[in-house]
């Protein structure tokens, strides 16, 4: 018999309890990092991040939501809050080195927010060193989960934060532009990873051209890249193949209105496998629901105040799929 979401979540140990044991042993477990990206703006990345955060918080998991959309921070709106006066803009402007003092509580117990950087224009494209430092700090954050809300586009810092996360989620809406952007986002993320992991100058050059979408050397997809490398070097082929096999992403189709829209979930999964050679796991669809904008306008976090709506129920199913594998994978059973 299918278990209800609350029943399923009861099976998941409270990481806070696990942590206190680890702390006593002086062996603090780093947080589990999830990132939500997808290339296109307005598809629902912040909507998904905020609601997943609320779900985790309600299950007793300390959760830090990070507004990593440095160009257009608005995660606070989904949590029913005004823009926090402190946030990553202070970190990027070197006004604060301690992220802890930039984090603000939300109305959901255990859930806190590290606000974005909308007052600090330079932060819209942070330097490599700033991004690296942010990652180091997040790895040491005293929380169970870190959820990264990424901005639109395929800027390198966005791709790097996406690759930094153990759980990578992409959100797409049922529009051709969004679907096109998600393919581009996934290709770019994979190419960026290859560039960082493989030292061959020739491969770096091919990958640079592929990311630029110049494709003047015929390499447009990971499949093309591996094919080209295989003509050159079997050892490198194996290394890049290993990267391809371990590149795993989960997909949400949001704002679904018709049954045709919901078929996109499997269609994208299959297209990624066939044309890009990338493994994408279908997490689920979330229906378009007018109560979403109502919740934003009334500043009432969606799954907190509209838990009986169709979309909230679908989101619960997504969380169930996300949280259950954590048990085995991160050894918190």
Interface positions with Mg ion (CB under 5 A): 45-46, 69
CB 323 within 8 A of CB 3: no
Does residue 311 interact with ligand ATP by CB under 6 A? yes
CB 177 within 8 A of CB 38: no
| # chain residues binding ligand ATP, by CB under 6 A | 20
Does residue 254 interact with ligand ATP by CB under 6 A? yes
Which listed option, ligand ATP, Mg ion, none, makes contact with residue 42 (CB within 5 to 8 Å by class)?
Answer: ligand ATP
Q: Whole-number minimum distance, CB 85 to ligand ATP, in Å? A: 21
Which listed option, ligand ATP, Mg ion, none, makes contact with residue 288 (CB within 5 to 8 Å by class)?
Answer: ligand ATP
Q: Whole-number minimum distance, CB 60 to Mg ion, in Å? A: 26
Measured CA to CA, the distance from residue 233 to residue 257 in angstroms comes to 48
Q: Whole-number minimum distance, CB 149 to Mg ion, in Å? A: 6
Contacts of 26 by beta carbon, 8 Å cutoff, 6+ apart: none
Residue number, 160 or 326, with CB nearest to Mg ion: 160
- Both tokens of 270, joined, read 């299959």
Q: Whole-number minimum distance, CB 92 to ligand ATP, in Å? A: 18
Q: How many residues does the chain have?
A: 333
Q: Closest Cα partner for 41 from 81, 69, 15, 66?
A: 69
Edge-first strand order for the sheet with 248-256 is 103-105, 111-114, 63-68, 145-150, 32-37, 167-172, 248-256, 279-287
Judged by CB under 6 A, which stretch of 40-48, 95-103, 237-245, 324-332 contacts ligand ATP?
Answer: 40-48
Residue number, 31 or 151, with CB nearest to ligand ATP: 151
CB 285 within 8 A of CB 269: no
Does residue 126 interact with ligand ATP by CB under 6 A? no
Judged by CB under 6 A, which of 32, 33, 43, 268 binds ligand ATP?
Answer: 43
Identify the bridge partners of residue 63 per DSSP, sorted by sequence position. 111, 145
Contacts of 240 by beta carbon, 8 Å cutoff, 6+ apart: 194, 198, 203, 225, 226, 229
Does residue 67 interact with ligand ATP by CB under 6 A? no
Judged by CB under 6 A, which of 188, 255, 304, 309 binds ligand ATP?
Answer: 255
Q: Whole-number minimum distance, CB 173 to ligand ATP, in Å? A: 8
Residue ranges in contact with ligand ATP by CB under 6 A: 41-47, 69, 72, 151-152, 254-255, 286, 288-289, 292-293, 296, 311
């Amino acid at each position: 018999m299918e278990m209800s979401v609350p029943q399923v979540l009861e099976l998941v140990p409270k990481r806070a309890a696990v942590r206190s044991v680890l702390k006593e042993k002086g062996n603090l477990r780093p947080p589990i990092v999830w990132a939500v990206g997808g290339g296109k703006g307005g598809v629902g990345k912040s909507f998904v991040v905020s609601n997943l955060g609320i779900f985790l918080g309600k299950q007793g998991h300390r959760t830090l939501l990070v507004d990593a959309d440095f160009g257009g921070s608005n995660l606070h709106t989904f949590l029913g809050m005004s823009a926090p006066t402190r946030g990553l803009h202070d970190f990027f402007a070197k006004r604060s080195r301690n992220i802890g003092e930039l984090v603000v509580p939300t109305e959901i117990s255990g859930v806190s927010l590290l606000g974005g950087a909308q007052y600090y224009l330079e932060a819209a494209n942070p330097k490599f060193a700033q991004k690296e430092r942010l990652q180091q700090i997040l790895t040491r954050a005293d929380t169970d989960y870190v959820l990264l809300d990424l901005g639109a586009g395929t800027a390198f810092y966005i791709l790097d934060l996406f690759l930094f996360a153990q759980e990578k989620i992409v959100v797409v809406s049922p529009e051709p532009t969004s679907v096109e952007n998600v393919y581009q986002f996934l290709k770019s993320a994979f190419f960026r990873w290859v560039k960082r992991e493989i030292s061959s100058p020739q491969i770096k050059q091919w990958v640079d051209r592929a990311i630029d979408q110049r494709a003047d050397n015929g390499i447009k997809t990971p499949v093309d890249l591996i094919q080209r490398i295989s003509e050159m070097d079997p050892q490198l082929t194996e290394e890049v193949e290993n990267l391809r096999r371990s590149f795993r992403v989960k997909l949400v189709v949001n704002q679904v209105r018709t049954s045709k829209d919901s078929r996109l979930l499997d269609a994208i999964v299959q297209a990624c496998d066939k044309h890009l050679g990338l493994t994408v796991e279908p997490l689920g669809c979330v229906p378009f629901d007018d109560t979403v904008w109502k919740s934003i306008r009334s500043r009432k976090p969606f799954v907190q105040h509209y838990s009986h709506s169709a979309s909230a129920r679908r989101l619960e199913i997504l969380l169930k799929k996300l949280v259950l594998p954590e048990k085995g994978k991160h050894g918190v059973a």
